[in-house]
A and B are shown apart, each in its own frame.
Chain A
Amino acid sequence: MARALLLLRIARYPPLPAPPAPSHPRPLPPLLRRHAPSAIRFAPFSLPASSVSTSTDASSDGGGGRKGGEEEGCGYVDYLGMSDEELMDQCEMGTFKASGPGGQHRNKRESAVRLKHRPTGIIAQAVEDRSQHMNRASALSRLRTLIALKVRRPINLEDYTPPVELLQILPLKSTVRGKDVGPQIGPNNSKFSPGMQALLDLLFAVEGSVSDAAKILGLSTGALSRLILSDDSLRTAANELRASKVSRKICAVNIYSLTGEYHITHSKHYI
């Protein structure tokens, strides 16, 4: 199956409450605002495993400052645990070519689909499949990946045990991975996303330190690095977390939605 070509706009975590009334109408924002993924610039992980030892440089001096109550105790919704239909219900679906009368008038295989996930503002889009239906399926699975990559849930490191979704994507040699967890799930499996989300939550909690995360997961730093490198988007997101160590701050972020409204939320945000 052709992999969907995607153009994305990204909203930052944490999950937003449902958008308030669009009281600040705005012109449609440009395609990518400044939150474009910035990964490659910082790319220690873009090189083969030999360079990942630099990740120890990023080792954290504790998660201070990031659990300062700014998450406002809102329940963290497990979006990835939802069925496709439930997730779809939270989305607005749009397509691009609304010009012209369509239907029988037209022969255009522009069956692109754009899904906007209302609670998070994340947008996933797929254009390359040959049918509308399949594009929707691609966009939905892409949305799951994006949620995993972009929606961070806080972890309390003091009493942390890795959730089973995370254990499932770990290599078998992990010492915290019980026998009953089953075979390792790889990036091409649809169950990879929830594990990836949990892994990024952990990396976020340890301020991007792969070695710290590796310890918690009962792996060598090298083994965890290899897992991270096995998937491009995971690698990129992990790089962003590491980079954030350099210039993390809490600030107000405008999150523009497609329809032009925006809301302000307190959120962690990397420059």
Chain B
Amino acid sequence: MKQEYIITVFSEDHIGLLSRITIIFTRRKINIDSLTVSESAISGIFKFTIVINETPDRVQKVVGQLEKVVDVMKAFYNTNEEMIYQEIALYKVSTEFLFESDKVEKIVRNSGARILELTREYVVIEKTGHSDETQQLFDELNVFGVTQFIRSGRVAITRSNIERLSVFLKERDAMLEQVD
């Protein structure tokens, strides 16, 4: 059965690596629902956070292929439950709705969103959360009319204390020594 998985790829910071990673999905006709790239807590090591909807078997095989990329150190996959994750969304609505009634303000307050910028023409609202939450806010605001909307890729971290890669790097070093 297909379900949402969060794949985390730890890699060197090299040009072209994003392509090398995405073609692995393209070749298997797997859609990437979201993708975020950022540096990890270990300096010089980057993290790709990729969300896909797939069967356990396919996600496992894709992760195997990701790890074959020379500049990739390690790839992990997790279900949503196993990780703490967030996305950020920005919404633009016309300022007139804010003043017509207190409805928009209430929606913003109730959803834990905040107003980032307010001008005479528009107001920019920011909300952090899971996609169903940012989507819900979109639906509520769209009753008035959302003129612009953007949602970021997912960022996710594990529930353990350290970067999973630190442990891995130590083991890898030992193995590299072992295999002449």
- Please indicate whether A and B come from the same complex rather than being unrelated chains: no
* B residues adjacent to A (C-beta < 8 A): none
